[in-house]
Chain A
Amino acid sequence: IQLTQSPSSLPASVGDRVTITCRAGQGISSALAWFQQKPGKAPKLLIYDASTLESGVPSRFSGSGSGTDFILTISSVQPEDFAIYYCQQFKSYPITFGQGTRLEIK
């Protein structure tokens, strides 16, 4: 199942509210997760089942959507949030990822 993220790059300032979109090529119910990856590090799970916040993840991160359209929202960007974000579907195998969205400093 193909996942398409937009935008590919997202300039933002500290304190901004930002949204990243992930669109699935077919309906996947709520079988979607979001990851954050910083340079030289493994991806970190932020959200699973489209909207469930992983333990320990700050509440400024939230996820929404079902079917084919999903959104990751950061309510107030912090300096440590500048990274690449990936969506991932687990509705069917093979598990697939979006191409990534780079959140960068404006």
Chain B
Amino acid sequence: QVQLHESGPGLVKPSETLSLTCTVSGGSIGYYYWSWIRQPPGKGLEWIGYIYDNDNTNYNPSLKSRVTMSLDTSKNQFSLRLTSVTAADTAVYYCARLWRATTLDYWGQGALVTVSS
């Protein structure tokens, strides 16, 4: 059974960089696509992007200029960096497996990140 777990600071100051890591257990991180999705409090879901094999990424154009994803196969982890954050980036951030590069089948429990000074 694949399990995912997000970790990282729960509070980030405006203009700084949000960094989150997703640790995958129950299966190898290789051969799959991995995604980040976020959900502002009380609102809907926004897909941030995916990473595959470390040099294959696809980011949502709405965030592309500020997003970087990376993969660490030795630790079975993948990461998200979002620069120049504002209050609008306050959200629960989910990591998920993107099976066949299309279907979000396994999700982490989510990590709330608040942007505030």
Contact = CB atoms under 8 A, between A and B. Distances in A.
Interface size class of A (residues with CB under 8 A): 20 to 34
A101 B61 CA distance: 26
Interface of A: 31, 33, 35, 41-45, 48-49, 54, 86, 88, 90, 93-100
B8 to A, nearest CB: 16
Contacts of A33: 103-104
8 contacts: A33-B103, A35-B104, A42-B110, A48-B105, A49-B103, A90-B101, A94-B47, A95-B104
B44 A86 contact: yes
Nearest to A5: B44
B95 to A, nearest CB: 10
B108 interface: yes
Contacts, number: 51
A90 B103 contact: yes
B44 A95 contact: no
A45 B104 contact: yes
Contacts of A42: 94, 96, 107-110
Given A93-B60, A97-B47, 7 more contacts: A31-B102, A35-B104, A41-B110, A42-B96, A86-B44, A94-B49, A98-B44
Contacts of B105: 45, 48, 54
Interface residues of B, number: 21
B46 interface: yes
B103 A86 contact: no
Interface string B36-57: 0000000011110100000000
B74 to A, nearest CB: 26
Contacts of A100: 44
